[in-house]
Homo-oligomer: A and B are copies of this chain.
């Protein structure tokens, strides 16, 4: 498939045949085709879109890899000491807009955690997280005063799909207070939700302390 893409037999933007047809054509198992398609998508050669199917990616100008941050690891790699503080823990229904966006029953309670990640005792990230105990029942027996949900979920809960959104927001009073920032300060906000098959695992909004930057190396082609 890569040879065909490179030779422009399948040009940028072209829809590629479905898995079943490719398996017949290449004389291999459909699971093999599926794995190859996933690898090509992970490498950015193919784009898998919900409605448009799998297409050859438009020749990109350059790209960067962005990984789900394990804050513990990031802070320590920067040379600072990592700290973590659970601010609140509740079992409650999510706000209606969030429930609708995630496709969850708004009446069903989720685990709601607010926490603070620290670097050298200074606030680094304020985290507002919802966890679906129906998808991750084990979370209810984790000591979340000691281990952050960020770390526990990354290590223990494989996901099959997810999305990430990066934005800038003016700090609301409560978030500003925890981050030691002025209300209205410009904050980098990273929002993620992950799913295993159809089940929502978690939805999180991470508010980074003012001045935080995400640094990435660009690669070509």
CB distance from A117 to the nearest CB of B (A): 15
Q: Evaluate contact between A168 and B194: CB separation under 8 angstroms.
A: no
> Which residues 175-221 of A have a CB within 8 angstroms of B?
184-189, 192, 194, 208, 210-221
Q: Evaluate contact between A159 and B192: CB separation under 8 angstroms.
A: no
Flag A155-167 by CB within 8 Å of B: 1 or 0 each: 0001111111111
CB distance from A142 to the nearest CB of B (A): 17
Q: Verify if A38 is at the interface (C-beta below 8 Å from B).
A: yes
- Given known pairs A60-B68, A62-B194, the reply for A214 and B167 (CB within 8 Å) is yes
Query: Interface size on A (CB < 8 Å)?
Result: 55
Q: Verify if A106 is at the interface (C-beta below 8 Å from B).
A: no
CB distance from A5 to the nearest CB of B (A): 13
Flag A62-96 by CB within 8 Å of B: 1 or 0 each: 11111111100100000000000000000000000
CB distance from A101 to the nearest CB of B (A): 13
Which of A21-29, A40-48, A121-129 is the contact stretch?
A40-48
Per a CB cutoff under 8 Å, which of B70, B187, B218 touches A162?
B218
Q: Verify if A174 is at the interface (C-beta below 8 Å from B).
A: no
| A→B interface (CB under 8 Å) | 38-39, 41-44, 48, 58, 60-70, 73, 154, 158-170, 184-189, 192, 194, 208, 210-221
Query: Can you spell out 9 A-B residue pairs with CB atoms less than 8 angstroms apart?
Result: A42-B63, A42-B221, A60-B67, A64-B67, A162-B218, A165-B214, A168-B168, A168-B188, A186-B186
